[in-house]
Chains A and B, each alone.
Chain A
Amino acid sequence: MNDMRMETVAAGGQDEPVQMNMIQAINSALDVMMGRDPDVVVMGEDVGYFGGVFRATAGLQQKYGKNRVFDTPITECGIIGVAVGMGAYGLRPVPEIQFADYIYPALDQLVSEAARLRYRSAGEFIAPMTVRSPFGGGIFGGQTHSQSPEGIFTHVSGVKTVIPSTPYDAKGLLIAAIEDNDPTIFFEPKRIYNGPFDGHYDTPAKSWAGHADAQVPQGYYRIDLGKARIARPGAALTILCYGTMVHVVENTVAKLGIDAEIVDLRSLVPLDIDAIEASVKKTGRCLIVHEATRTSGFGAELSALVQERCFYHLEAPIERVTGFDTPYPHSLEWAYFPGPVRIREAINKIMKD
């Protein structure tokens, strides 16, 4: 249990934490926020009566009614456009896009409208929405159930992009995102909904049971956006990662027995630049790992920032382990996925210099 958690639980004056997987933690965050704020509404394809294709909204419609949790037509631009209008009215919508791969029809509403509304109206109208969407690969999802489009959103002024890696963080970050008055893209790594994934696809799947970060308070707590988490302190090398890759990296580092500092970014915009700088200046080496394709991916921004700010502390070139610049393949998933083999090779390369 890290310090951050002790603080936030204490601040909330909390009930006993219980075991939750990431789905349950997200469900709990929505439940808590709907209970606290009558303006929070949940909408999306299959989120109402059925409770979502991943069960993230299970039971919410029954508890809060159809005026606050409702199924929508299958039109992503409509879902986000309607959410912008609801936000202009004064609601706090939490729309769901069933898979991040299907967020593109909503891009115009997200990029041209939600992201710019506060700016273009000088604050007259705002878009306090949180767009939840399952993302990432590792589930044999093929081309359209595996993508990691976070780099598209980090490039857009006016939206925040948040990605949790544990049930505890998922709930605290989602609560913070819902409370935030800026539009937030909340990408949920679906590979770790039910358990942390260490990158070894050929071993039995693990559940969150027994994981320290799966003990989740049942009530309200928040993890401020823009604060990274040191998933593993270390001195030899800094590894910047988020989502599923945090667990893959943790496992690989443990097996290699290397004293790497693993920084789980949690929030890409705003980014915890202080945590990144402090870590790289300490270790002198930096590896960046993400599932998304390489060219113009968020790793390129991270690499540039580290180079600009830590140049005189660097003892080796910054390395990136990412998805390849191809559409996400089905049968060759494990050759594509930036797993233990590729991470190990990159670490060895950095440490040689």
Chain B
Amino acid sequence: MFTRSFCRFSKYLQKPVNRNVCKNRKLHISTALCATHSSGRYEDKPEFPGSRSHFIHKLEFINPDDTEGIPVYRVMNRKGEIIEQSEDPQLDKDTVIKMYHDMTLLNTMDKILYESQRQGRISFYMTNFGEEGTHIGSAAALSPKDMVFGQYREAGVLMWRGFTLDQFMDQCYGNCNDHGEGKQMPVHYGSKELNFVTISSTLATQMPQASGAAYALKRKGKDRCVICYFGEGAASEGDAHAAFNFAATLECPIIFFCRNNGYAISTPTKDQYRGDGIASRGTGYGMYTMRVDGNDVFATYNATSAARDICVKECRPVLIEAMTYRLGHHSTSDDSSAYRSVDEAAYWDKQDTPIARLRYFMISKGWWDETMEKEWKKESKQMVMETFARSEARKKPNPELLFTDVYKNMPWHIAKQQQQMKQHVTNYAEHYPIDSHEKWKD
């Protein structure tokens, strides 16, 4: 207001009376701030350090309901037909078949491990039903050197990178072959060689960590980026806000990949947020943003590929929101029929899954047929069953490992407790499951 009054007066600076007005008001603002508008009116621009914009003279709230939602990018329709030929990523046959193999193998593993939990053979499981396309499409667009930070429903990314069925199942069983030494719950996978940072249960904590890792990669300058996966529910955590803001202000080469599958356990998105999903937040943080059809593996591939280019070339973060639907229950501890209709889930299962869509595409190309489908189903099921039996037969790790890796080197008090445990268990051996574990050396 003051600035504006001053500018009005400054027009008449030649006139002594107005100069006095200015003096009396003690306004020492440079006349350079007052630009002459082309219309001849005197205009000024806001000089506030906090934003770049112009003044308006009518009171007007920005109404989020005035704008249509951010559109969903799609390459092929539900029948696997490419809509815009120029958007076809033109992936070769082998790549597409690997995409299909990995999505379906993950699907088969999910079914068997889900059942094994129902039978009490593993303690917990989370399926990936309906979201296989987001995993494979994005993973295929990355370099294997790119670091992955995930939430827990991204096993397909590991599958794409070469995590073996044994590795998946050894982790779920927490047996002596598990690289995580049986310390975490099932589906908390990790792999150093595959640059997949080990999953933890705490939601969204990986997000600002991923920004930090991206900053480190940028400083190393080796053409690498980070991808960070999270669900739309996790995006409500404070850590998500920190992650976006840090990545933008510190110019981190990171792709934030949101799996918006409609639910966070039982909570539908209408209870999760009131804006236009997660994507609408991206530009608020100053990030490149797009929304993609998560059931379209090619759209996901294209979006991730383009995002990776931006990260590596411009050192800026990108937000991708992949719209999808969580076909399965949240986890084995959840019965989703308690909060959503069976019909709703059935619709997505029948009408729009990433696996079916890619299969249509492959059939149209002549790369796939019924016989191949049958054979692959049989083969993949057999592989999973064989691995499952191997993992189940393996012993659990030596109980001593309960105490390792708390620190790089074991401090005295933990070493003392380790000895106490061993002594105690030796004295009361019949009360502990020592036979299912490997023996400790003594």
Pair from one complex: no
